[in-house]
A and B are shown apart, each in its own frame.
Chain A
């Protein structure tokens, strides 16, 4: 694992892969190191915020150096951290099925780019099982890992200013779901019909990181 100061009040930890990052994130959130205030997950990274009057980056690096990453996955969280609503991976459950209207504005472009027909894109996208890798960028924006490798496409060179609520997009190795209307640069292949974001509830996002997801065309 690599570490680097992120300003004077946070430490960026870079892991080798998403599983390690998720494991470290869950471990730290369940048991914050002394002086740490928040664990922020990334795809392959974890950002650990701390109170600079209570600890410093060097002490946290020492703390991290003592952890044995290979064992983290088997550890159950001992107690909830101060952020009582930290997402927990849903283990041993069936994939949640989301209803999709596969008529996104970039479906034809994705088909042309990948050498598939639009129907083949839809079939390939539905065939895979996905895992919520990260909620980030905007509230409730889901990064889903585990898609068909043939569907890997770059983002749009210029983001759209208006992406509809529930839009389902492709970028890199990920499928993304836009929880609400707004700007966005992913290649849109459809729209999820289920409402996945409730800002006044805790937790506000319905799918916790680690949740398994499948898509079904309607």
Chain B
């Protein structure tokens, strides 16, 4: 049993989400930074998709009734176990009765704390991920008690996982242009790729909002609601892009100018308000085409 002693800004249970329910309006959800969740699970010998804690900006404290093997990944947060320094990006023991605390990270947004066996919370529609926007589960509160499951696949094999340093300058996000790039002026599309964007303060798990040179439309009118994905760069009428995050709506009514590559979706979820962003734009494999031969 693990007891939540403090939650910090936001503490939720996340796994890799619930795919396959979009037709009911239920999005995939899941960890904002999936690569970090997977890494944390691998480091303790869990199934990659086991449920772990997602900690926003540190400040979370946990009391472990039993000894456990844990790993902290994502935003590099100072870890202490019973007041003694722990570490990130490698497995470590938490003795029975010990208190593990995560302080505020120096950069990035979200840390992941995986426990060997995974967190055993109730599944909703096939996943333990909390999606508060959709009313699926709730964020953890002080005093909540969680059980540890048995989602292991083997023994831990790695002592420390190296990972790239967070860039000192703007973060480069790789995106594929379209499908609605033709709604915008050529000049706007050039500026999307050339200029710096800044993560706005009102960003969350639903979307990361960007400020910068507003994109100008060359097509008036409204888009009929379309299905969308995490990483889609939606442009509302004010011209300022929103990059959809884990808890995005399943459909959107504004044109999507580009869609991030999967790794960049993880990266943008770690960008703090004020972080500089650039887009590295690639042409799509299939540009908007009418298929001939199909009827009607």
Residues of A within 8 A of B (CB): 1-12, 16, 25, 29, 37-47, 49, 56-58, 61, 64-70, 82-83, 85-87, 134-141, 143, 172, 180, 182, 199-200, 202-205, 209
Verify A200–B229 contact, CB threshold 8 A: no
Verify A137–B250 contact, CB threshold 8 A: yes
Verify B295–A136 contact, CB threshold 8 A: no
Verify A7–B22 contact, CB threshold 8 A: no
Q: Does B178 contact A (CB under 8 A)?
A: yes
Q: What are 29 A-to-B residue pairs whose CB atoms are below 8 Å?
A: A1-B290, A1-B294, A4-B287, A5-B176, A5-B285, A5-B286, A5-B287, A7-B232, A8-B285, A16-B296, A40-B23, A42-B224, A42-B226, A44-B224, A45-B227, A47-B228, A47-B229, A56-B285, A57-B284, A68-B294, A85-B24, A136-B227, A137-B225, A139-B26, A140-B25, A199-B124, A199-B125, A204-B21, A204-B125
Shortest beta-carbon distance from A8 to chain B in Å:
6
Verify A204–B22 contact, CB threshold 8 A: no
Verify A86–B226 contact, CB threshold 8 A: no
Knowing A41-B23, A204-B24 are in contact, say whether A12-B261 is a contact too (CB < 8 A): no
Shortest beta-carbon distance from A25 to chain B in Å:
8
**A88 closest partner in B (C-beta):** B23
Knowing A139-B26, A139-B136, A199-B135 are in contact, say whether A2-B290 is a contact too (CB < 8 A): yes
Verify A38–B22 contact, CB threshold 8 A: yes
**B259 closest partner in A (C-beta):** A7
Determine which residue in B27, B225, B259, B285 has the highest number of CB atoms from chain A within 10 A of its CB, and name it.
B225
Shortest beta-carbon distance from A69 to chain B in Å:
6
**B292 closest partner in A (C-beta):** A65
For A6, give its contact among B21, B24, B179, B261 (CB under 8 Å). Answer: B179
Q: Does B66 contact A (CB under 8 A)?
A: no
For B227, give its contact among A16, A47, A82 (CB under 8 Å). Answer: A47
Shortest beta-carbon distance from B164 to chain A in Å:
21
Shortest beta-carbon distance from B279 to chain A in Å:
13
Verify B225–A10 contact, CB threshold 8 A: no
Verify B24–A139 contact, CB threshold 8 A: yes
Known: A2-B290, A47-B227. 11 other contacts (CB 8 A): A5-B286, A8-B259, A38-B22, A43-B224, A45-B227, A57-B285, A61-B286, A68-B295, A137-B249, A140-B25, A203-B24
In angstroms, Cα B255 to Cα A4, docked, is 13
Counting from the closest, the 8 A-B pairs by CB-CB distance are A7-B259, A5-B284, A136-B251, A40-B227, A4-B179, A47-B227, A83-B20, A40-B22
Q: Does B288 contact A (CB under 8 A)?
A: yes
Q: Does B220 contact A (CB under 8 A)?
A: no
Q: Does B134 contact A (CB under 8 A)?
A: yes
In the complex, what residues of B have CB within 8 A of residue A45's CB? 224, 226-227
Which range holds the interface residue count of chain B?
35 or more
Determine which residue in B19, B23, B262 has the highest number of CB atoms from chain A within 10 A of its CB, and name it.
B23
B232-272 near A? 1/0 per residue, CB < 8 Å: 10000000000000000111100010011110000000000
Verify B23–A138 contact, CB threshold 8 A: no
Q: Does B202 contact A (CB under 8 A)?
A: no
In the complex, what residues of A have CB within 8 A of residue B24's CB? 85, 87, 135, 139-140, 203-205
Q: Does B291 contact A (CB under 8 A)?
A: yes
Q: Does B218 contact A (CB under 8 A)?
A: no
Q: Does B289 contact A (CB under 8 A)?
A: yes
For B256, give its contact among A6, A65, A86 (CB under 8 Å). Answer: A6
Shortest beta-carbon distance from A141 to chain B in Å:
5
Q: In residues 126-148 of chain B, which contact A (Cβ within 8 Å)?
A: 133-136
Knowing A2-B291, A69-B294, A203-B24 are in contact, say whether A37-B229 is a contact too (CB < 8 A): no
Verify A4–B284 contact, CB threshold 8 A: yes
In the complex, what residues of B have CB within 8 A of residue A10's CB? 229, 259
In angstroms, Cα B291 to Cα A68, docked, is 12
Verify A9–B262 contact, CB threshold 8 A: yes
In angstroms, Cα B178 to Cα A127, docked, is 41
Shortest beta-carbon distance from A74 to chain B in Å:
14
For B178, give its contact among A4, A61, A202 (CB under 8 Å). Answer: A4
Verify A43–B294 contact, CB threshold 8 A: no
Verify B224–A135 contact, CB threshold 8 A: no
Q: Does B231 contact A (CB under 8 A)?
A: yes
For B135, give its contact among A12, A39, A61, A180 (CB under 8 Å). Answer: A180
Verify A6–B125 contact, CB threshold 8 A: no
In angstroms, Cα B234 to Cα A32, docked, is 27
Verify A61–B25 contact, CB threshold 8 A: no
Knowing A1-B294, A5-B176, A136-B249 are in contact, say whether A29-B135 is a contact too (CB < 8 A): no
